[in-house]
Structure 1
Amino acid sequence: MTGQAASPFKQPKAVFAVAFACVVSFMGIGLVDPILPAISHDLNATPSQVTLLFTSYLVITAVAMLITGWVSSRIGAKKTLLVGLALIVVFAALAGTSGSIGGIVGFRAGWGVGNALFIATSLAVIVASASGGFVGAIILYETALGLGIAVGPLLGGVLGNISWRGPFFGVAVLMAIAAIATLVLVKPLPIPERKTGILEPLRALRHRGLATMSLTALCYNWAFFTVLGYAPFPMGLGAIQLGLVFTGWGVLVAIFSVFGAPKLQARLGIARTLYLNLFLFALVVLVIAIWTTTPTVLIVAVIVAGVFIGINNTVTTQAVMTISPVERPIASAAYGFVRFIGGGLAPYVAGKLVEATNVHVPFFIGAGALVVGIAVLRTAHKELAVAERVQAESVRPARPADPPATLELATALGGTGNGVIIAAVDDSPVAAQVTATAARLAAVHGRAVHVLHAQEHASTSESSANGEALGQAEALVRAHLARLEAAGVPAVGHVLLNAADHGAVGRLISAHADELAARAVVIGAPTHGGLPALMDASASRELWRTVHCDVVIVNPATVPSEPAPVTG
């Protein structure tokens, strides 16, 4: 079972080099907010012109997402990462030296290309380089994401108080450091055998579920970036004050992305969580629309919006990866293309609407976009329901022929109501002891053993990468089945598919145990505590909460250096 990882903060230097770059990259989301009024004043630009900083950056990021898979599958993840970092360094520095709003907008577009290449490969590089497994890698990535979102506006406010050019030069310097560290510390990663076609993300949008989720995200991002891109203007605050406001917003985004979203999804399910969250976000944007010219209400509402943005980022991304029939990087690119288009156009349209009408109208439209998003999402209700079901692939012991033991296995299983013993395993050292304990329980009670392993995926609130290959998952299960078979213990194996997060792993095992009317589930105790355990959605906790049979926990401290013998 996944979830028994080492501390995510005990990693090779290469992982921290990329994680540092992730922090700086995600700073860019809110970095420019505190300096928007200053740029407008110093360069004699209208608010709609200044919001093009968001539009050029996000629209170009959206278009570039379509080519990220094509690039990385040909030159490799490390080189793609370095190209992205180099582009960000160059164009962030050029934006800082620009003397016109048109120049900054153009350089932000180049920055967007680098950002797309970086987003598409950073998680994959961290996962491939991490020593703490998938769980540790994802926790570290989410930590970097949250830190970047929270700190970005504050850094933008501090540097922007000196000059509006400061945040651009700050990003250039920090990303240059990250690029050098990545070049030196990260080992080259293998180039994928299969080359991704440049049109694959667009073809993936033919799938109804993926297209519907992406359009819902477009509506959501329209409201999100209307608030992020235009709300600083009516607040009437200085750079540092704006930085503090959006730091509060960013802290809530980070907290609810990492902690709140998994809990809500576990309690309500994907569909109901999204419906409720989009509705509540629409109410907050409606408050902003009504009281746009009341700074206190506007500031509080913008900060509170971080709650719903954080939840939506995580749940929507997980849903997209679960609902999609294509490889995760392709699905991520297709989804990113559509949603960033909405986020890029919204701030510019908001500026134009204010010039033509009044300051309230863009936010009313933002609230309306969220209502439209709910209606669009409703058309994919069946697909969302399917995404929440248990999906498993049975794996039998690999043998050249069907010997009598296989027949005994079929007889021993006999159906779903025979009270089997489940061994939930992962690739940790304790897994062998889990299987041995399950075998002893099966022998005492005259039961069969079901070996369960959840196929791990690397998916976060902002990105997704291919995780454990199905062949690797099958091989792991087969290794445990071979040991049980050698000991004469009847057994069958299962690989559980499409676990969107670690909590989902526990719920998948629980549902499988209920389906088999299992007598007991044997698991290994989590080996991390403190902050990592808090940030992990906890497969163990979800299993304990939902399963309807006994749970036997194997203490990792008792695991011998040699694999435990399996006895029948």
Structure 2
Amino acid sequence: MSAPHGKAASPFKQPKAVWAVAFACVISFMGIGLVDPILPALAESLHASPSQVSLLFSSYLIVTAVAMLIVGWVSSHLGAKRTLVLGLAIIVVFAALAGTTDSISGIVGFRAGWGLGNALFIATSLAVIVASASGGFGGAIILYETALGLGIAVGPLLGGELGAISWRGPFFGVAVLMAIALAATLAFVPDLPKPKRPTSPLAPLKALRHRGLLTMGIMALLYNWGFFTMLGYAPYPMELSAHQLGLVFTGWGLLVAAFSVFFAPRLQARYGTAPVLYANLLCLGIVMAVIAVGVDTPVVVIVAVIVSGAFIGINNTLTTQAVMLVSPVERPVASSAYGFLRFIGGGLAPFVAGKLADATDLSVPFYLGAATFVLAIPILASGHRLLRQAEQHTGEGEPVTLTLTPVGAPAATDRPPLIVAVGAHDKAAAIVDAAAQLALDTGSPLEIVHVQQTAVVEEQAVDTETTDQARAAVTAHLDRLTTRGIPATGQILTSVGDHAAAGRALAQHAADIHAGTVAVGRSPRGPLAQFADGSFTTALTHAAACSVVLIDPDSTPRPLTAATLAKLRSSAT
């Protein structure tokens, strides 16, 4: 969260390992919209009906869903890198095979194998990037988000360009690009340690016994039902060429990426997770109903699909955060259980939509998709209390995600403490030492708050450090101060969401314990990263009811003026 003063580190200055996995992420995320531009061409070239072609989505997503139940077990035994490599290799093989077949059933079958590789890849890619990053995880998260945005936006464009040459082009294109990513991963990504405790293959299913996780999972199933109905069937009434369809879904992908990264966190901060999701699902239902009503007017369908990208981007990010907030189980287990349900919804939707379209007309699947979006609202509402309890609120009603774990003995004083907030970086000790001196000068007890953040990107979440690592960091600070005769206590603040959410969480904690001052270091993340996921210090300063002091451990400290010292002392009484 904090770092030395000076030139901010660029999020793009990362080791080759991070770049290798980021490149693979771009290609993987392309798969979301890659085949959309070629759906009509596939139906025509292979003499297949739209319902038969829709099985490309069903086989891919259903296999992905089932595989999500075991990827944690596989990763805990093979290690993150081997799991990642295995997933990439499977994608290369089955994407190439899909391009060589001459039947729609062959493509459907090979897409199923592709889904297995996709599950192995998405379950480990974010964790590998964070573990391989240099200079903190913030830059790696921005790079991952950039890869996601590029993949979602460029996938339909590449699919349209290659599909205009041949429907086989997108499949061969993915195989070649993923082969390059596989070679780079083998060459540059180091072996990563396996978890100390293997994950049980039954853990995700057992986790669904928790009401909060099950509720959010069912809501995600309904949402993905509507989402993949649109992806699977919207290209047909548009009556466009592969190249034109690629441009339409590129516009859609740009909105998905932009609203996921930039707008979802700000809407959440302003209104809260549940209210934004209620409104967003309703808007998606309306957009889907517009497609159903205007299914015979291509312009209406085109505009509605592009507009839906904004709501899909918001929903993808906030749904994952909601899952992580209410889940009482480990992040990987929660992600696997949640992924199983949401991919099941996405896989069944195109199949059912095809049957409905064949039996009635093309508008009926879209009406059903609109209904699933709206039905997700009361499902989410049934877990509203759990989600609200998981979110703490400031006096202004802003939601923050706050969990505090004490480390060491509590402070034996009634005086308001001075809080110093640090993260996992190489300047943390210097910042704590400078804050300790400030606490001595003002006669305040010192509380060290180590911020342990869960990064949420699109539909994935990963802890940036383990609880044991965070506890060890706090203990090291306390032991070092004890040898100098400086009493202090420690806390681990676990935050789900962006950096700004963590800043608001700390402000809430400071208000709860009536802290007189909060000390933080300077951010190393630069303006791009701070714009994308918010500024910790800015959010803290705006939300805090006490003084906020910025510490620069690399500069020579200047003596506090008498007026400043008096002000800080008065806030500590």
Deviations 1:15-36 (A, max 9, x none): 1001100000000000000000
Q: Does 1:80 align with 2:83?
A: yes
1:219-368 equivalence runs, <5 A: 219-368=222-371
1:520-531 equivalence runs, <5 A: 520-531=517-528
1:198 match: 201
TM-fit CA distance, 1:488? 3.5
Cα distance between partner residues in 2 of 1:537 and 1:281:
26
Q: Does 1:211 align with 2:227?
A: no
Amino acid at match of 1:166: G
Cα distance between partner residues in 2 of 1:430 and 1:349:
56
Amino acid at match of 1:475: A
TM-fit CA distance, 1:2? 6.4
Structure 1 unaligned regions, length at least 5: 398-405, 561-568
1:40-79 equivalence runs, <5 A: 40-79=43-82
Give the match's secondary structure for 2:550: strand
Amino acid at match of 2:386: E
Paired residue for 2:24, among 13, 21, 24?
21
TM-fit CA distance, 1:193? 2.1
TM-fit CA distance, 1:486? 3.5
Give the match's secondary structure for 1:10: coil
Call closer, same or farther: CA 1:528–1:291 in 2, change over 3 Å. Answer: same
1:395 match: 407
1:447 match: 444
The percent identity for this pair of structures is 61
TM-fit CA distance, 1:509? 0.5
TM-fit CA distance, 1:547? 1.2
Deviations 1:36-67 (A, max 9, x none): 00000011100000011111101111011111
Deviations 1:108-148 (A, max 9, x none): 00000000000111111111111132222222111111110
TM-fit CA distance, 1:498? 4.1
Count matched residues. 546
Native 8 Å contact 1:286 1:367 kept in 2 = yes
Cα distance between partner residues in 1 of 2:519 and 2:320:
31
Native 8 Å contact 1:96 1:166 kept in 2 = yes
Native 8 Å contact 2:2 2:521 kept in 1 = no
Native 8 Å contact 2:139 2:525 kept in 1 = no
Cα distance between partner residues in 1 of 2:463 and 2:282:
32
1:150 match: 153
1:402 match: none
Q: Does 1:90 align with 2:114?
A: no
Native 8 Å contact 1:321 1:500 kept in 2 = no
Amino acid at match of 2:22: A
TM-score (structure 1 length as normaliser): 0.93
Amino acid at match of 1:24: I
Give the match's secondary structure for 1:447: coil
Please identify, of 272-281 and 34-43, the stretch whose mean Cα deviation from structure 2 is larger: 272-281
Q: Does 1:109 align with 2:112?
A: yes
Cα distance between partner residues in 1 of 2:246 and 2:552:
47
TM-fit CA distance, 1:258? 0.6
Paired residue for 1:476, among 470, 473, 477?
473
Q: Does 1:168 align with 2:180?
A: no
Deviations 1:322-378 (A, max 9, x none): 211111111111100000011111122222211111221111111110111011011
Structure 2 unaligned regions, length at least 5: 393-401, 558-573
Deviations 1:227-272 (A, max 9, x none): 1110000000000100000000000000011111111111111111
TM-score (structure 2 length as normaliser): 0.92
TM-fit CA distance, 1:546? 1.3
Paired residue for 2:542, among 535, 545, 560?
545
Call closer, same or farther: CA 1:3–1:169 in 2, change over 3 Å. Answer: farther
Native 8 Å contact 1:157 1:239 kept in 2 = yes
Amino acid at match of 2:79: G
Please identify, of 162-171 and 346-355, the stretch whose mean Cα deviation from structure 2 is larger: 346-355
Amino acid at match of 2:175: A
Give the match's secondary structure for 1:455: strand
TM-fit CA distance, 1:467? 3.3
Please identify, of 243-252 and 192-201, the stretch whose mean Cα deviation from structure 2 is larger: 192-201
Native 8 Å contact 1:437 1:522 kept in 2 = no
Cα distance between partner residues in 1 of 2:203 and 2:464:
19
RMSD: 1.8
Amino acid at match of 1:12: P
Please identify, of 465-474 and 156-165, the stretch whose mean Cα deviation from structure 2 is larger: 465-474
Native 8 Å contact 1:454 1:499 kept in 2 = no
Amino acid at match of 1:470: T
Give the match's secondary structure for 1:422: strand
Native 8 Å contact 1:527 1:556 kept in 2 = no
